Amino acid sequence: MKNTIFKLFAGTISKKELIELKKWLKDPKNQSVLEYYIKDYHDLNLVMLKNNVDEAYKKVMDKIESNENPVKRLIPNWVKYAAAVVLLFGLGFLYQQGFFTSRNDGLIVPKDDSITLELDNGFIQKIDVSQTKDVRDADGNLIGNQKQSSISYSPYQSSNELVYNTLNIPSGKQFELKLADGTVVHLNAGSSLRYPINFSQTSTRSVYLSGEAFFDVSKDKSRPFIVRVGDLDVKVLGTEFNVAAYKEDANIDVVLVKGSVSLAKTDTDKLEGGVTKLAPGQKGSFELATKDINVSQVNTALYTSWMQGHLVFRELSFDDILIKLERHYNIEIENTNEELGREVFNASFKNVGIEKVLSYFNDTHKIKYIIENNRVVIK
């Protein structure tokens, strides 16, 4: 019955299976089982619901009782509640219990590329996340300390010019960086940040981002903090926000958690007054094609859960999901099914291996795949 429940949430349940599920839920013990799973494994998606767990559960149950037709392959509106519940239900729980297993005997071994730190003179150092060591500049001067997956730069030192380092995070890894002004940056897989080892005491604090990062900016009214990403500048004084700007994305997304930020186009555009301000809970999307900035209200947890190891896909095509999976796990995936690549999915995963993710799509959407030469091929 677990697979039947999962099909309900995925929108693939048949009329026969729906009737069987209704009969199964007439037993109060079975209802208690479902309710237990929902409440006990809600941590992934509770923050994504405007309603509480009990209300979401009730709405799903009401719809099960009232629905007489087979659920369509494309998820109807009411299933947004069921989709929320399946996340509460916990894909992680199902996987941990072994309900979904891979159809392949082959194993996928992710590539283990190194995190690198590029100094201002072009010298590149590999970062060993198992170590604790000093961080030094090109002249051998102590400028900070590395402790496993984190680097902290020393507070301000006297300097006549800005000296930049660049931290490069490969696919499959994440890293934390504490800048000299106290700002903390969490860098996601496949990202890089160029930043000064000491900020100027008199001008703005500017860094350059490619990829995705969450910033907790140290407040300094006299020196605004600016994240420069492509043709967009994100300007703040002290706040918490997420910036997603991968090369394959159509937008640069800035999600504000706390404080306030302003979004502006290039310097020439600023002269024309092209500045957009965000309030907490808002997302500013800078469209790369049109250079327009659109603002919407969002649940910030959807955009920051990656720091806890969560993968959250909302209204994404299968091809776009595969790109994110490749980056998250540092593996190669080839999709030979063009029609499938255009199909849109919603899914969430918490701290699971790539085999579990593929098994989910296999079991719920009948997606077939094979593993060849440590590469996933979707049929």
Question: CA 209: distance to chain centroid?
Answer: 16
Taking Cα atoms as reference points, which of 290, 341, 281 lies closest to residue 317? 341
Residues 273-292 pLDDT 10s: 578 999 999 999 999 999 99
**DSSP state at residue 305:** G
Residues 144-183 pLDDT 10s: 999 999 999 998 665 668 999 999 999 999 999 999 999 9
Q: What is residue 294's three-state secondary structure?
A: strand
Residues 127-149 pLDDT 10s: 999 999 999 988 898 999 999 99
- The overall average pLDDT reported for the chain is 80
| pLDDT at residue 31, as a whole number | 73
Q: What is the 3-state secondary structure (H, E, C) of 144-156?
A: EEEECCEEEECCC
Backbone angles phi, psi at 337, to 5 degrees: -105, 95
What is the sign, positive or negative, of the torsion defined by CA atoms of 45, 31, 55, 345? Answer: positive
Distance CA 120, CA 193 (A): 13
- Strands 225-229, 205-216: pairing kind: parallel
Q: In what order do the strands lie in the sheet with 332-335?
A: 332-335, 375-378, 369-372
308-378 CATH choice from 3.40.50.300, 3.60.15.10, 3.55.50.30, 3.40.50.10470? 3.55.50.30
Residues 316-366 pLDDT 10s: 999 999 999 999 999 999 999 999 899 988 888 888 889 889 888 888 778
| pLDDT at residue 40, as a whole number | 36
Instruction: Give the CATH number of domain 115-302.
Output: 2.60.120.1440
- Strands 240-245, 251-258: pairing kind: antiparallel
CA distances in angstroms from 167 to 12, 42, 100, 211, 291, listed in the order given: 44, 35, 38, 12, 28
Beta-carbon count within 10 A of 77 CB: 6
| Per-residue pLDDT at 28 exceeds 80 | no
Q: Give me the count of residues in the chain.
A: 379
The residue ranges of every structural domain in the chain are: 2-89, 115-302, 308-378
- pTM listed for this prediction: 0.74
Backbone angles phi, psi at 40, to 5 degrees: -80, -25
**Is the distance from CB of 216 to CB of 304 less than 8 angstroms?**
no
Q: Long-range contacts: 28-37, Cβ < 8 Å, 24+?
A: 30/1, 31/61, 34/5, 34/89, 37/88, 37/89, 37/90, 37/93
Distance CA 21, CA 175 (A): 45
